[in-house]
Amino acid sequence: MQRADRMAREFAVEVEWVPFELHPDIPAEGQVRDEDLKGRQAGMRDRIATLAEAENLPLQTNQYRSNAHNTLEAGEWAREQGPETFDAVHRAIFHAYFAAGKNVSTVDQVVEAVEAADVATPGLRDALEGGTYSQRVDELTQLARQNGINGTPTFIFEDQFMVSGAQEWPVFEDVLTRLGVPRRAGVVSEEQPEPATGGP
């Protein structure tokens, strides 16, 4: 999410998040990670932790593997409430899972995570319990798989470039530069110092 924020801040781009269920096999109530899985994912977790530390982001190893369907449906509910609500719900769920280490699988858990971020949730529980957005999530997930997407995060740039996984910022900067996307007015790359002004 930090990379998407920075792209939108530094370049003239709009970021649109699309639901994708990576592990539909996880039970509806989520599951505790087994030791074998922890071992296999240790290298990946260490790399993500290093990236998070570099960006000063809170991150803890979650003992749970959450079933994402309800969180993705919550995102679609939020999208229809407007961009501010979508952004708030998106961040609330990310925080609950990655920073607070919570299981966010069930309707109760998802609603609790969203309400903890002081987001008004009229209709959210009814939408989740009624599966209002379930088909939309399934269809978009299937479409993504048909187009070769099999991991998260995956960023697609103007149907020309695809960047998968947790990548360093220069990867995104390079793609946007190749596409000729202009930097926003007055923005200087955070890797470059501000130009000096005035006299000594």
- What pLDDT digit, counting tens, does each position of 80-98 carry? 999 999 999 999 999 999 8
What's the pLDDT at 200? 34
The percentage of residues in the chain with a pLDDT greater than 90, rounded to a whole number, is 66
Q: pTM above 0.85?
A: no
pLDDT exceeds cutoff 70 at 194:
no
Tell whether the model's pLDDT for residue 51 goes beyond 80: no
Averaged confidence pLDDT in the chain: 86
Question: Which range is most confident: 47-61, 83-97, 184-198?
Answer: 83-97
What are 177-190's pLDDT values in tens digits?
A: 999 999 998 876 65
Give the model's pLDDT for residue 34.
78
**Domains in the chain, please, with CATH?**
2-178 (3.40.30.10)
Question: Which amino acid is it at 141?
Answer: T
C-alpha–C-alpha distance, residues 84 and 72, integer Å: 16
| 94-133 per-position pLDDT tens digit | 999 988 899 999 999 999 999 999 999 999 999 999 999 9
